[in-house]
Amino acid sequence: MWTIAKKELKTYFLSPIGYIFIGIFLLMCSIFFYLDVVQYGSTNFEYMFYSAATVLTFIVPILTMRMFAEERKTGTEQLLFTSPRSITSIVCGKLLGAAMIILITEAFTAIYYIILTCFGTPHITTALITLLGYFLLAMTYISFGMFASSLTENQIIAGVITIAFFIVTWFMPNFIEATLDFSFINVFSNTFPTGSVTLSSLVLLISTPILFTILTILVLQRKKSVK
Amino acid sequence: MIEVKNVTKKYGSFTAVDNISFTVKDGEVIGFLGPNGAGKSTTMNMITGFIEPSEGTIMINGNDISKKAKKAKRQIGYMPENVPLYSELTVKEFVKYMTELKRMPRKQRKEDIEKVLKETGLEEVQNKLIRNLSRGYKQRVSLAGALVGNPEVLILDEPTVGLDPKQIIEIRNLIKELGKNHTVILSTHILPEVSQICERVIIINKGKIVAIDTPEHLEEKTKEENVLLLTVEDKEEHMGNIKEKLPKLKEIKMIKDNEDGTKQYMITSNADVDLRKDLFDILPKQNITIFELKKAEATLEDAFIRLINAKEEIEKASESIQNKKQDKEEKKKEKEAKKQEKKKQKEENKKERGEK
């Protein structure tokens, strides 16, 4: 698993993908930091994450669309799946690689926190809870993106499916109220940035990544006998 | 040892590989031969565990590839068709990644990387990006990836496609070397390659095994007929009568009409008949001058084409017989239908007359 995660991380930074992801994220975060925090003269670090959560919708596909689609297109999946590694460890390795990118990105947001400490005393526990929530939200999105990537050999299609799914789960509660608890962004913004964690939000944001990881494994195993 | 037992692969209603079985002994170099789309790559993908057979079992040194996948896969080095590589890595990085993927002990990795790079002649380019390498070098990198961890079984899917003649010879020699202490299965559609490298050949066509034998045996099998190539100058055009004068001659065919007035003929006879003496006796008497007379050598190519065509002809024949049967049945039915229609018409006519 580590071997594959390491290779994934390396690939992200050998191609521009890793830099583009972190770059766009930090650019947007800086704008939101100014608009949502600085302009109000607030020391609430977590405020900018309300908006930053929506950015994930558009940048997570950059990370995930190539995961399996590219390997299938170039044929390198033959090297991967004929190596003495189980499909589970390959899938988990890829997920871990992307998770590390998220952690790196989150580490960069410490800059904003440090800036705030110059002007006041921001609440550290709320900030950490927000970062945890943001990480879980990102993992939910990544696991779905990975699942979409395992379905096709066309990266663009994988990316479009992913964005479509995110937008649907984002706006769905506006039309069907019953789905309010399944809108990942709403679940995130209603709990974590307020400094509180609810059991239901934790369950949703942990079980969804697990669900899509299992689905990815199933898809890849099925492909083995259909291919 | 590789044991393939009753393996079938179906894609929907299409059968890519149809109930094939064979065994490859330790240290044997075996060639997989067949036209495009015969099922070579599918079979190899099944042996390496990349795809699962619809039916049948594949054992690598006693380990079932689908049940004890990890153990079995560790013993295989696979060089897939079209050399898929991570083009963003350097050669050395790629080989290193392969050692990690194959779960080599950390201590042995460095040594093994150097050994593999040396064996495949990649030391000079080891720090170049794979993206920037030529096709020949990419092929070698792919082979290096297969050799990592010194696996007992090597599976090479078309290892010499797209190489220049010099590189082909180099790769062939390398495979020959590897064959001394590895079990090798290689697929190709270049025939001389097989007779040079392989100890045994599996000829496969339309998903079925047509023949398993040594290249020498296959060549001998085609020697059922004696083929002579004859170039003559025949100003009075007596060649047409030759067949009458030589009753043992089976067939004579003109293959070339040269510009200098000579003509080349192909003469076939049964294997136990040598017509050369008779030709030298009879032709000069007909005022035909012999320019050249030689025996055509039986090659693996002939064997291959004959085996594959033979199968196809049998299939076509059986198909056409079936078609004819169907046609006859249909015609019968049509006739009966017409008869009945006529009867009906007659009866109707009678009724009409009666009414009148």
In this complex, do A76 and B98 lie within 8 Å of one another by their Cβ atoms?
no
* pLDDT score, position B193: 79
B80 and A78 within 8 Å at the Cβ level: the answer is yes
Confidence tier at A5 by pLDDT (50, 70, 90):
very high
Chain B interface residues facing chain A, Cβ-Cβ under 8 Å?
11, 45, 48-52, 54, 69-71, 73-74, 76, 78, 80, 82, 84-89, 97-98, 100-103, 145
Same domain (yes/no): B161, B71: yes
Q: Quick one: B169 and B83 in the same domain?
A: yes
**Residue B237 within any structural domain of the chain:** yes
DSSP string computed for B169-222: HHHHHHHHHHHTTSEEEEEES-HHHHHHH-SEEEEEETTEEEEEE-HHHHHHHG
pLDDT recorded at residue B302: 64
For residue B353, being part of any structural domain is answered with no
CATH number for the domain that contains residue B72: 3.40.50.300
Residue B198 sits in the same domain as residue B96: yes
- Residue A76 contacts B where some CB pair is shorter than 8 Å: yes
Residue pair A119/A43 in contact (Cβ under 8 Å)? The answer is yes
State the nearest Cα–Cα gap between A89 and chain B, in angstroms: 11
Claim to verify: residue B9 and residue B145 sit in the same structural domain: yes
| Binary contact (A81, B49; C-beta < 8 A) | yes
Looking at the fold, whether B194 and B281 belong to one and the same domain comes out as no
Nearest to B84 among A11, A75, A226 (CB): A75
SS3 assignment, position B275 = coil
A221 reaches B (C-beta below 8 A): no
Nearby residues of A25 by Cβ (< 8 Å), 6 or more positions away: A52, A55, A59, A105, A108
Nearest CA in chain B to A13: B88
Q: Are residues B76 and B133 in the same domain?
A: yes
Annotate B148-164 with b (16+ C-beta within 10 A) or e (fewer): bbebbbbbbbbbbbebe
Nearest CB to A82 within list B50, B86, B100: B50
- Name the residue range of residue B312's domain: 299-338
- Going by the DSSP 8-state scheme, the letter that residue B128 receives in this structure is S
Q: Are residues B200 and B125 in the same domain?
A: yes
Q: Inform me whether the C-beta atom of residue A179 falls under 8 Å from chain B C-beta atoms.
A: no
* Helix (H/G/I), strand (E/B), else coil: A38: helix
Instruction: Say if A121 is an interface residue toward chain B (CB within 8 Å).
Output: no
Q: What is the pLDDT along chain B (356 residues), one digit of tens a residue?
A: 899 999 999 988 888 999 999 999 988 999 988 888 888 889 999 999 999 999 999 999 889 988 888 889 999 999 998 889 999 999 999 999 999 999 888 888 999 999 999 988 889 999 999 999 988 889 889 999 999 988 999 999 988 887 788 888 888 888 888 888 899 999 887 777 787 888 898 988 888 888 888 888 877 766 667 778 888 888 877 777 787 888 888 778 777 788 888 888 878 777 777 888 888 888 888 888 888 888 766 566 666 766 666 655 555 555 655 666 666 677 777 777 777 777 777 777 776 676 55
Query: How distant is the Cα of A198 from the closest Cα of chain B, in angstroms?
Result: 40
The ipTM of this complex is 0.89
Closest CA to B49 of B155, B202, B191: B155
Q: Cα–Cα–Cα angle for A58, A63, A64, nearest 5°?
A: 95
A108 close to A26: Cβ distance less than 8 angstroms: yes
- Count of domains for chain B: 3
Report pLDDT for B352: 67
More confident residue, A193 or B344: A193
CATH number of the domain residue B227 falls in: 3.30.70.3100
